[in-house]
Structure 1
């Protein structure tokens, strides 16, 4: 386990923020949010450390800073159905928490440590606060609440419904999974959800509403607010994030095919995709590369350093988020608001909660590339852009987010004292 210069002021409570990976390895929303919170707490004077799971094969690639630790894990022996980790990983985690005199453990995921780790941590006399970023606790399909193979939105799981999605598992197995998660979550002192939508879904599935606080994801604000672009020879639309089907990249590619049939519009737009491929099949990557080759207005600009996201978004007129699952409170949306760029997004779930159609962005119908193409055409309008930008809310900073978390941590400490 690696650490930086750890300082433990006398009498100060020590908080551990757990992330299922480190931002130096991947740039998903959960790990970025956890890291921003860690830095925000440190800026407020809280004695916080970051613990990031790291597969043993990636130990030479992780870039740890002061007060940051890597928890070695082995993905090959992790049970992704019941979410059970090895005893060795769970013991290593508890030992690290005890060595560092941690009094509260804020998990931004249970991936790699397993859901049973919550009980281990509580048994060691350490409070657990769980920040929920998706629905993996109630949905085996990557926590998306989307059915297989039909890819329709799921409004609530059950052993029978889940077994229809995954016929290789029995209803009994899903019932056991549900029971184990319920028992583990009962160990949690407080829950945090970055959106009301996510909180409501989890309360429907048994999480006690009184234990849930809504705290929006905080993002760093640019030193200077990005200015609007002056030239409108081309309207620029940017996609930011992981490149995979459930983030709606396939929908965006299909929308490009629709736009290509409108040559006057295609000549006035540019669509830039920023992100990386993680674990995608060759067929999807081939399809992606073929679209970039076919459509002159579509460009792939590769992976990006999240520290540069504000300037990259400032080079666009709009940020496009075509996800096909509910989402929660996408960090990309928060980053777009910080960069003062309206968002064109799927009008469902956490996206619809964060972006108001016609006021702070535009909605399109889920899985409907023609409707997305229509919204892109609609967006290429000076008056509309000015209207949307003037109404954009300001997202919280990491310090403002940390202040709200600190209030929850204080309440937990008082309740369990």
Structure 2
């Protein structure tokens, strides 16, 4: 196997920012290092640098933090030109990677793509798409900000309707500015077919986008804590993992349990593993807090968790619930559930529906509809064999080793 010099760029280090994209980028970095490649991980950081330096070392010499930020959140532009046109350029010249694999431009400036191409004209530039930020100004969610209705396709006119303070011309120029930066990318990677199609509809040539799922590490033998059916709990154990915000659908899940009659509800327990409720809008906080009070004894809020804790936490779950109200892309938490042989109950849209097949490896319900989710819970009670059927239908998710090999093969393509 040819050893490669690879630079992986992410918008955060998972030691600090525990988002799916950050974790995916870092796991790929670790796998390349294990395979013996000359790999460097560069993560944007909002931490104050020592002495005003643009870069610092995080854990070891080949893990670097890039101390910068974008100044224009509309264009994703970094007007602090010294950080990109000087410091980043000098770093690229020193490292001389053959491949620069971006996992984001967010918070660094979309101009970083242009600088890589200018400084390293022979390098292969690969970009893994993780959501819809380039397409959608509404935090990349493709949700209409006021109605929270799903948006099927962006356009300057549609985007102006969501953000009337920006003209259609502003949105047209935004699209052109981002596409100019994207034009230097040799190949894009999409973790789901759904996300790929969104970017094809936006204007990226389909032949330039390869679908490669984000791989996850295999469980070690001693960490395999899959559920023993013969020793199952008398209650149906539901689990929610991830950020607690307005778009992840926790309120939909709680509403479904509130609507359930008390006798049926006694058959369920829900464990919530997540954080950041205190940073959400006041009305959302109040809605969740009120539901938690009404569901005392059924629902338990455990706070944040570390990724390494997931296998043990999932050992106490019969079903993982992923009730997001936006399209999602390729939720890594679903792969982690399947790795532990835990079936998933998910909203029936986007990357969630692509992974979770109804009555095969999990169940789906109508997005944003508590009554639909309630009917799903009722079907679980009415059919005790449903869990066993869906668990048997789970196939192992792609491993980080398999994903790394697919990415490496892409690097070698002309």
Whether contact under 8 Å (1:17, 1:107) holds in the other structure is yes
Counterpart of 1:132?
129
Cα distance, 1:58 vs structure 2: 8.9
| Structure with higher RCO (Cα < 8 A, 6+ apart) | 1
> How many Å separate the matches in 2 of 1:183 and 1:199?
19
Match of 1:207 among 204, 209, 216: 204
- Other-structure match for 1:407: 409
Match of 2:46 in 1: 55
Give structure 2 stretches of 5+ with no counterpart: 51-56
Partner of 1:178: 175
Q: Deviations over 1:341-379 (max 9, x none)?
A: 111000011111111111111011011011112212323
Native 8 Å contact 2:58 2:64 kept in 1: no
Structure 1 residues 147 and 58 mapped into 2: Cα distance closer, same or farther (>3 Å)?
Answer: farther
User: Matched residues in 2 for 1:309 and 1:30: separation?
Assistant: 17
Distance 1:326 1:292 in 2: 26
Offset from partner CA, 1:201-221 (integer Å, 9 cap, x none): 111111111111110111112
Counterpart of 2:7 (choices 16, 23, 26) is 16
Do residues 287 (structure 1) and 284 (structure 2) align?
Answer: no
Q: Contact 2:101–2:128 at 8 Å: present in 1 too?
A: yes
Structure 1 position 65, deviation (Å) = 4.6
In the alignment, structure 1 residue 159 sits paired with structure 2 residue 160: no
| Residue 42 (structure 1) aligned to one of 28, 33, 36 | 33
Of the candidates 66, 84, 87, which is equivalent to residue 90 of structure 1? 84
Name the counterpart of 1:396: 398
Q: CA deviation at 1:186?
A: 1.0
Superposition pairs for residues 289-308 of structure 1, below 5 Å? 289-296=289-296, 297-308=298-309
* Matches of 1:392 and 1:66, distance apart in 2: 40
How far residue 19 of structure 1 moved from its aligned partner, in angstroms, is 1.3
TM-score with structure 2 setting the length = 0.91
* Separation (CA, whole Å) in 2 of partners of 1:346 and 1:66: 42
| Unaligned ranges ≥5, structure 1 | 1-10
Cα deviations by residue, 1:158-196 (Å, 9 ceiling, x for unpaired): 000000001111111101001111211111000000001
User: 2:273 touches 2:304 (CA, 8 Å); kept in 1?
Assistant: yes
Query: 1:319: how far off?
Result: 0.6
